Amino acid sequence: MTAPATPTGPVEGGDSASGKRASGDDGQPIQAIHAAPTGVLRRYVFSVDHKVIGRQFLFLGLIFLAVGGVMAMLIRWQLASPGRPVPVVGRLLFGGSGGVISPAAYTSLFTMHGTIMIFFAVTPILIGGFGNFCVPLLIGARDMAFPRLNMLSFWTMAASTATLTASFFVPLGSAQAGWTAYATLSTAIGAPGTGQTLWTVAVYLNGASSVMGAVNYITSVVRLRAPGMNYMRMPLTVWGFFLTSMLNALFVPVLGAAMVLLFFDRVFGTQFFVAGSTIRGGGDPILYQHLFWLFGHPEVYILILPAWGIVGDLLSFFARKPAFGYRVTVASLIAVVVLSCVVYGHHMFTTGMSPLLGESFMLLTMVISVPTALLFLNWLGTLWRGAARMTTPMLYCVGLVFTFGIGGLTGLWLADVVADMYLHDTFFVVGHFHLIMAAALLLATFAAVHFWFPKMFGRMMSERLGKLHFWPTFISLNLVFIGQMLIGYAGMQRRLYDPSAYDFLRHLLPWNKHISQAAYVLGAFQLVFVWNFFYSMKRGKPAPANPWQVGTLEWTVASPPPHHNFDHIPVVVRGPHELGHPAAIARGKDWLAQDEVIE
Amino acid sequence: MTAAGATRSRRDIDASIGMVIFLATVTMLFAALLLAYAVLRTQAPAWPPAGAPPFPRAAAGGSSLVLLAASFALRRARRAGSSAWLRAGATLGVTFLALQVSLWRHLVAGQLGPGHGPLADVFFALSGFHALHVAGGLVAIAATGKRRLGLLVTYWDFVAAIWLIVYFAVCVL
């Protein structure tokens, strides 16, 4: 294992080691350089700078990640110690019931935990935060194509979070219909309070924000790539955001349609999702599930594609060799995007779907494991015989490869109709889902934070604290989610208030206790990350321009970059992963910048 | 071509690409709503639903003509660069919304409001959500005026086309 952060070679100023560059600005006065705004409001609050908006999304997402995480701890408390008062914060949060989580509060907790983590933590952190920060910098642009739309996207997200937060303070409390908000639990019949209505509005606004981002990301990638940055020279990170934006643009509106109809049902008294009579016809609760999962399955790829892209790049950067099978990786990502549109039925095997249709969805779902396996093998190929630098971002990436492997394989069980009939609605589903959507995405998030922190804030995060955070997080994540799969396989259903009330689940109580203990460890060690994040922002070692010694464009400018990113639009002459290139070795280093001219 | 001219045309292309992506998302939204309509309709034992009063097709058709006229006026505004046609388009847009509101009031009074069977629900939700997009178009006219006439025309044509599809699917078919 080599030393962290700045392992070998001279890094002073970063830039000086990287040779000559050409400028792509000639005859191309396209992306004007605007002076940085001086007022505090225009600079930090209503900014149109993608780097500021990215950080705004990041902070908003991290706050809600903490809120959703506390909710997870409370859920685990109820499963481990059913009906016992919550220590420390119990009286404050559940004063009415003497600190005990009531059934209604528990239902609300798991509903809002899911909602917050999916829509208000992962989406703003990965897509809003890193998407905004990275896309223009990595393609060599001075900003997004539509900076003001970008600002509107963030403030729509802020309005959405305000609406969601308000739902906690209305009579009957917040939404309680699960994060999927199945009808008729979510219609006026199942959820009479205002909380579910506010939830519906919040999710709609959240989607509107995502769509605005998607319009911006796609247009920026299509139009603002620096000269020479053809599609096959784009970093995989950009591919991830590009493809995610396409899915966002096409499938978030389907969720929007579901929310519109749910809103009409709740507010205007229509009956789209209320079962109708056989004489007059009428609504259909299953219709909601179709609309939700038409969006919902692409949504999991919307969330994981940026993570795949980031990991694809970072594994190459820290294995110090080019990404193995770059073109195959890109083709696999595209294949996953296409296939993700036609597999949603696997969420609905138990709704009385025609067996023939179920079989079709099963086959299509299993086919998706082919491009995914290629992607996975390419990661292993990238690692194979690399000169690995086990920095903190690399650790998170390798951890992701592991959890994604297990999470992906167990997906095949759930894709199988026969196995799914038994496993449906058990903690096996919860464990599988969390291994990918929680474990893998969190590890990608931490990798991205550690990796781009120097570019965002001009300082390095502590490697020592990073490792102190990684190992307990990685181990406890796996204990929690693999444990959940085990008890799910043993038959424990999800969303039960007190599983120990049932004879056939009582023997699982000790298991639940152990899973909860691992979850508390997981929760506690996140404080290390919080400390590292804020301490490094103030006191971290000042970051050079290119601390990781890699060649993508964001590392050719200062840390943090100037307001307009690039003094001269770079001219790209090679791909993003030129590590170990002989021409570089001849110059006493092992990487070449994407715009570096070799004479 | 001057540098300024080149800059403008490039920004225009960016804007029209952005507009195409945005319209794709709105298309998916209405496609999903029409899918919901198709599911409800195929599951109903009879259509129009048994016992429902006759639907006032002609009144809804009349507002269609107003929306088309608004689209036409905006096209003239783009060609002539005229503020008068722009104001005419905006006025026709407001008229369309007013007609829709009076139609909804009429429907609610005539046992065809929300909650009175699937046909009434579908028309109310689709026309209501569509009206929001028309209102958004009016806000865009107010906000951008003559600066973005090309994009405005694209958007209004699109909104008019969506309305014709909704009207044909729900009121005619």
If you measure CA to CA, which chain B residue comes closest to A283? B40
If you measure CA to CA, which chain A residue comes closest to B124? A270
Q: Is A384 exposed, middle or buried (0-12, 13-18, 19+ CB in 10 A)?
A: exposed
Size of interface A-B (CB pairs under 8 A): 132
Contacts of B129 in chain A (CB under 8 A): 260
How far off is chain B from A463, nearest CA to CA, in Å?
A: 41
How far off is chain A from B115, nearest CA to CA, in Å?
A: 4
Tell me if A528 sits within 8 A of A469, measured CB to CB: yes
Most confident of A4-13, A379-388, B1-10: A379-388
Which residues of chain A are at the B interface, by a Cβ-Cβ cutoff of 8 Å?
29-30, 32, 145-146, 149, 211, 214-216, 218-219, 222-223, 249-254, 256-258, 260-261, 264, 268-272, 276, 278-284, 287, 290-291, 294
| Residue from A473, A471, A443, A453 nearest A532 by CA | A453
Average pLDDT over residues A553-571: 93
Tell me if A568 sits within 8 A of A23, measured CB to CB: yes
Task: Respond yes or no on whether ipTM tops 0.85.
Answer: yes
Residue A578's pLDDT is 94
β-partners of residue A281 are A277
B125 and A261 within 8 Å at the Cβ level: the answer is: yes
Contacts of B17 in chain A (CB under 8 A): 145, 218-219, 222-223
A257 and B29 within 8 Å at the Cβ level: the answer is: yes
Predicted confidence band at A156 (pLDDT cuts at 50, 70, 90)? very high
Tell me if A293 sits within 8 A of A344, measured CB to CB: yes
B121 and A216 within 8 Å at the Cβ level: the answer is: no
Q: Is A388 exposed, middle or buried (0-12, 13-18, 19+ CB in 10 A)?
A: middle
Average pLDDT over residues A449-458: 96
Percent of chain A with pLDDT over 70: 94
Is the pLDDT at A27 greater than 70, yes or no?
A: no
Which of B3, B25, B45 is closest, CB to CB, to A211? B25
CATH label of the domain that carries residue B143: 1.20.120.80
For residue A503, the 8-state DSSP code is G
| Residue from B120, B166, B131 nearest B27 by CA | B166
**B14, B16, B23, B25: which to substitute to probe chain A, counting the most A Cβ within 10 Å?**
B25
Interface residue B108 vs chain A (CB under 8 A): no
Domain locations along chain A: 49-597
**B8, B10, B21, B37: which to substitute to probe chain A, counting the most A Cβ within 10 Å?**
B21
Question: Max alpha carbon distance in chain A (Å)?
Answer: 82
Is the pLDDT at B113 greater than 50, yes or no?
A: yes
Residue A30's pLDDT is 62
Among the listed ranges A169-173, A436-440, A455-459, which one has the minimum average pLDDT value?
A: A169-173
pTM of the model: 0.93
- CB-CB neighbours of A214 under 10 Å: 28
Is the pLDDT at B1 greater than 50, yes or no?
A: no
Residue A20 phi/psi, 5° resolution?
Answer: -85, 160
DSSP B11-69: HHHHHHHHHHHHHHHHHHHHHHHHHHHHHHHHHSSSSSPTTPPPP-HHHHHHHHHHHHH
Give the C-alpha separation, A392 to A381, whole Å: 20
How far off is chain B from A429, nearest CA to CA, in Å?
A: 27
Give the C-alpha separation, A447 to A441, whole Å: 10
**B19, B33, B47, B101: which to substitute to probe chain A, counting the most A Cβ within 10 Å?**
B33
Q: Is A593 exposed, middle or buried (0-12, 13-18, 19+ CB in 10 A)?
A: buried
Contacts of B41 in chain A (CB under 8 A): 281
Contacts of B7 in chain A (CB under 8 A): 29-30, 32
Return the H-helix or E-strand segment holding A21: strand A20-21
How far off is chain A from B76, nearest CA to CA, in Å?
A: 28
Residue B36's pLDDT is 95
Average pLDDT over residues B30-43: 94
Contacts of B24 in chain A (CB under 8 A): 249-250
Give the C-alpha separation, B31 to A75, whole Å: 38
Q: Distances from the Cα of B112 to the Cαs of A93, A278, B44, B166, in angstroms?
A: 46, 19, 17, 17
Is the pLDDT at A216 greater than 70, yes or no?
A: yes
| Radius of gyration (C-alpha) of chain A in whole angstroms | 24
B32 and A282 within 8 Å at the Cβ level: the answer is: no
Is the pLDDT at A15 greater than 60, yes or no?
A: no
* DSSP-based three-state secondary structure for A588: coil
Which of B21, B35, B45 is closest, CB to CB, to A219? B21
Residues 6+ positions from B140 with CB-CB distance below 8 Å: B148, B151, B152, B155
Q: List, for residues A227-241, the tens digit of each pLDDT value.
A: 999 999 999 999 999
What CATH number should be reported for the domain whose range is A49-597? 1.20.210.10
Total number of domains in chain B: 1
Interface residue B17 vs chain A (CB under 8 A): yes
Contacts of B15 in chain A (CB under 8 A): 146
Contacts of A251 in chain B (CB under 8 A): 28
Average pLDDT over residues A280-298: 91
* DSSP-based three-state secondary structure for A141: coil
Contacts of B51 in chain A (CB under 8 A): 280
How far off is chain A from B152, nearest CA to CA, in Å?
A: 16
A272 and B114 within 8 Å at the Cβ level: the answer is: no
A271 and B14 within 8 Å at the Cβ level: the answer is: no
If you measure CA to CA, which chain B residue comes closest to A271? B115
- Sign, CA dihedral A106-A108-A111-A114, equals negative
Give the C-alpha separation, A412 to A367, whole Å: 10
Average pLDDT over residues A289-315: 96
Window 21-50 of B: residues touching A by CB (8 A cutoff) are 21-22, 24-26, 28-30, 32-33, 35-36, 39-41, 43-47, 49-50
Q: What is the 3-state secondary structure (H, E, C) of A178-228?
A: CCCCCCCCCCCCCCCCHHHHHHHHHHHHHHHHHHHHHHHHHHHHHHCCCCC
Which of A149, A281, A287 is closest, CB to CB, to B36? A287
For residue A36, the 8-state DSSP code is P
Residue B3's pLDDT is 45
If you measure CA to CA, which chain A residue comes closest to B30? A257
- CB-CB neighbours of A510 under 10 Å: 10
Average pLDDT over residues A110-139: 96
B39 and A222 within 8 Å at the Cβ level: the answer is: no
If you measure CA to CA, which chain B residue comes closest to A268? B114
Range of the domain at B121: 3-172
Average pLDDT over residues B80-91: 90
Residues 6+ positions from A203 with CB-CB distance below 8 Å: A115, A119, A160, A181, A255, A259
How far off is chain B from A142, nearest CA to CA, in Å?
A: 14
Percent of chain A with pLDDT over 90: 84
Q: Is A242 exposed, middle or buried (0-12, 13-18, 19+ CB in 10 A)?
A: buried
Is the pLDDT at A315 greater than 90, yes or no?
A: yes
How far off is chain A from B97, nearest CA to CA, in Å?
A: 19
Residue B43's pLDDT is 87
DSSP A56-99: HHHHHHHHHHHHHHHHHHHHHHHHHSTTPPPTTTHHHHSGGGTT
Which of B26, B33, B43 is closest, CB to CB, to A284? B43
Higher pLDDT, B111 or B23: B23
Helix axes A147-166, A194-223, angle to 10 degrees: 160
Interface residue B140 vs chain A (CB under 8 A): no
Return the H-helix or E-strand segment holding A20: strand A20-21
Q: List, for residues A488-524, the tens digit of each pLDDT value.
A: 999 999 999 999 999 999 999 999 999 999 999 999 9
Structural tokens at position B64 = 């269609």
B125 and A214 within 8 Å at the Cβ level: the answer is: no
Average pLDDT over residues A415-432: 94
B125 and A272 within 8 Å at the Cβ level: the answer is: yes
Residue A33's pLDDT is 79
Q: Average pLDDT of chain A?
A: 91
Is the pLDDT at A13 greater than 50, yes or no?
A: no
Residue A294's pLDDT is 95
How far off is chain A from B90, nearest CA to CA, in Å?
A: 24
Residue A20's pLDDT is 55
Contacts of B121 in chain A (CB under 8 A): 264, 270-272, 283
Is the pLDDT at A177 greater than 80, yes or no?
A: yes
Average pLDDT over residues B42-56: 84
Residue A8's pLDDT is 36
